A and B are shown apart, each in its own frame.
Chain A
């Protein structure tokens, strides 16, 4: 896979057979279906410019069969994933799904019951202090030393990290903070900004964030997303946990969806959407019953709605026998996908 670039699986529009194709972004490849011999061109999607090109196959976080239980509650159940250098890895799930437990185990706050994890190739069990030298962290429930001023807090942490802070100036330009005021008097948004500043200031290789946008107003959130994409361009690896689908959709390269301690999907965001096909919404004059049966569709607010992975031409032809009043063909949002994972337990 390394030599051949990216791997894609393409469904043959004729017979539905799945064909594997290897190539690089932007490259055009001729594929031949090995069942029905249909030939076609496939163009690998260009990487989005903001996504940068730093993402390599070098793994910086590797989690293997990690299980964490509290008494008899399984918080994280035998999960495995790896984060590649230079990517923004989304970790998506509702509250209580096991996101925070996974992160706290990675940072050495909790001991796993089974399984192991490696950061920079080092086992977290024996090297956690060494590892933390190059990992920034924004806690989910951010608590700062309220009796200190912002400046005192940053000084203290600068001393603890025993390194210089190449990014501090830049960070304070973006996320303005009243450094001479006591943190006690900070608003929730200011504290969150302080959390961001301290995590990035010493230029760590990886930043692990546990729902970092909570407490930020929409304007600041946007600033933060821009900042993250810019950091990604510089090659920084980021682990981004969230329960907000739209933000993961917007900034992450890959996403793991976690549900009740299990990872139910782990995929490139673009693939995830593609694999789920398109969302078709249609209004017809006739009785919708045959259409409903044909596509396993449901009626939502007057629209007949169903997902389709079919060839679009075939689809249009198949519905052309109806009198179409209105038609919408939309990409699946991550939200649609997510909801299906959560309501049906997967969509195989």
Chain B
């Protein structure tokens, strides 16, 4: 593989990727900030009815980690915000974006003019990957501060250090999603197609975990789910990070990136 460290350190494609996604990042940050603010701030008026609500869907939702503690603020945050909006919906959005990062250049044919520069294909993959990280970090930590702020505002108790740990542990999870998205985007040349496939993949992997939890015979299905390795409830409540899980997510990320680089390096860039 043709990788020149000196060229990568200049981070030009990284910088351009950050700039290109600047507006998108602001919009997603605003949306998730607003969503986090809304959900956490309605907790006080909602908490009395929660036991009945849980009663109502306890069977169908029983696979959600920590659902039984939804009556508490931490349990509520976990289910309403982290399990659904964070891991599933933000996962799908980030996956959607990452999966178009190469395919959009191929579909629009800008890859030709990009590759006429002295940049290697492996470098393009790495830099695009790095370029997606700052945007994610911004969404991640702005949402964190919003949750902390609103919690103070409504006077509910939550361990801020654990909230921080949750957002820190989100990084490997989303890195895995970004890398898998990039892999799909090198495999499929149409950007809408690659994005939708990645979005469905995030959804399916999420569902795998729920199936694995509900049907004991299919427990092994959970191992191929990314969510299996990132339990927000354990971190939020007890500050307990699944170190092995984090390692698995990082390994998935590295493996997907290496595969993308290898595949892209040998790909034919046709007209």
| A contacts, CB < 8 Å to B | 70, 100, 104, 107-111, 128-130, 132-133, 135-137, 139-145, 147, 156-157, 159-162, 195, 198-199
Contact = CB atoms under 8 A, between A and B. Distances in A.
B12 A141 contact: no
Interface in B118-170: 118-120
A104 B271 contact: yes
A132 B117 contact: yes
Interface stretch (B56-64, B104-112, B187-195): B104-112
B82 to A, nearest CB: 34
B110 A144 contact: yes
B16 interface: yes
Name the 8 nearest CB pairs between A and B, nearest first.
A143-B109, A137-B116, A109-B269, A160-B117, A139-B112, A133-B118, A159-B12, A132-B118
Interface in B84-123: 108-110, 112-120
Contact of A110 (B10, B12, B270): B270
A100 B4 contact: no
Nearest to B113: A139
B16 A156 contact: yes
A109 B120 CA distance: 11
Interface string B62-81: 00000000000000000000
Contact of A129 (B4, B15, B110, B268): B4
Interface residues on B, range: 20 to 34
A109 B268 CA distance: 6
A143 B108 contact: yes
B110 A143 contact: yes
A140 B269 CA distance: 14
Interface string B6-40: 01001011011000100000000000000000000
B2 interface: yes
A341 B269 CA distance: 31
B108 A160 contact: no
A226 B69 CA distance: 78
Nearest to A161: B117
A151 B55 CA distance: 61
Contacts of A109: 112, 115, 268-270
B118 A141 contact: no
A160 B113 contact: no
A103 to B, nearest CB: 10
Residue picked from B112, B120, B270, most chain A C-beta under 10 Å: B112
B124 to A, nearest CB: 10
A111 B268 contact: yes
A140 B2 CA distance: 26
Nearest to A100: B271
B12 A143 contact: no
Contacts of B15: 159
Residue picked from A107, A136, A162, most chain B C-beta under 10 Å: A162
B97 to A, nearest CB: 15
B109 A139 contact: yes
B113 A144 contact: yes
A283 B120 CA distance: 63
Given A129-B120, A143-B110, A143-B112, A162 B268 contact: no
B112 A141 contact: yes
B106 to A, nearest CB: 10
Nearest to A146: B108
A144 B111 CA distance: 9
Interface string B235-271: 0000000000000000000000000000000101111
A107 B120 CA distance: 12
B20 A156 contact: no
A297 to B, nearest CB: 42
A132 B110 CA distance: 16
Nearest to A111: B268
Nearest to B269: A109
B117 A157 contact: yes
Nearest to B108: A143
Contacts of B116: 107, 132, 135-137, 139, 199
A130 B108 contact: no
26 contacts: A104-B271, A107-B115, A107-B116, A109-B268, A109-B270, A110-B268, A110-B270, A128-B2, A129-B118, A132-B117, A133-B118, A137-B112, A139-B109, A139-B112, A139-B113, A139-B116, A143-B110, A143-B112, A145-B110, A157-B117, A160-B13, A160-B114, A160-B118, A161-B117, A162-B7, A198-B113
